[in-house]
Amino acid sequence: MTELGSHIPDSGQAAAPPLARFAAVAVLHAALLVALAQALAAAFPVLAPGMPLALSLHVALSAAAFVLMARTAEWSFPHPRLGLCNVVTHLRGALTAALAMPMVAPGVLVTNDALAWTWVALAALVLSLDGIDGLLARRAGLVSRYGARFDVEVDSLLALVLAVLAWESGKAGALVLLLGLGRYAFVAAGAVAPWLAAPLPERASRKAVCVVQIGTLVALMAPVVTPPVSTALAAAVAVLLTWSFAIDIRWLAARR
């Protein structure tokens, strides 16, 4: 998992980005997503209306990542090869899109234990793949600011999807949405106050908080985690996340 806000310098000279390869991966993962969504809808018919949402999220994420690679110099991809690292990140994005399917049936994760445990397993798989893409990038010499940004956006989308599902399930009330919206609020604040958008140094505690944040959101989907325990967990992680952002804001404010 790449730390939110960390500055990852590119290495080597810039090369033409592998846009055709990225597009092919996006199409392949779209087909995989459709197959997965159909299988899930067959097992749990209540999910069928969520298939368009999942595909829409996949298309939006893929399009944004493609444009970022092709047109944004600040986040340019300096390598001629896409690399397995970015394929894994994109796969995590496709699986995250599938996780959004129950949003169209609020509360279904509470009324259907089999579905809830299936979603815990799928979300745990997505979380377990996190960190692998960074390791692959380092081993292949394909580290880039683009890859780090792509990783962060997938992490953020995963947190948002899981937070909305927890909220719809009544696990922690609106408080749990803070766990999914925190990073987006920070980015929005940076658009208003540019000093908040400056690169941040790496911080181990930021990475740890991010892991705890998403891990807790995965746990909240489990049928055995119910109020008041689920509410207390969400509140504790919200405090932890606020503390982490406060450290970054203080560091940035001192260097305005």
| Residue 187: closest CA among 149, 138, 132 | 149
Fold of domain 19-253 = Four Helix Bundle (Hemerythrin (Met), subunit A) (1.20.120)
Kindly indicate the confidence band of residue 79, based on its pLDDT and cuts at 50, 70 and 90. Answer: confident
Per-residue confidence band for 76, with pLDDT thresholds at 50, 70 and 90: low
Q: What is the mean pLDDT of residues 118-133?
A: 95
What integer is the mean pLDDT of 44-67?
A: 97
pLDDT at 151 over 60: yes
The pLDDT assigned to 71 comes to 75
Q: Could you tell me the pLDDT band of residue 85, with boundaries at 50, 70 and 90?
A: very high
Q: What is the pLDDT of residue 238?
A: 97
Percentage of residues in the chain having pLDDT higher than 90: 75
Q: Which of 19-23, 81-85, 162-166, 195-199 holds the top average pLDDT?
A: 162-166
Per-residue model confidence as pLDDT tens digits over 211-234: 999 999 999 999 999 999 999 999
| Cα atoms in the Cβ-side hemisphere of radius 13 Å centred on 103 | 17
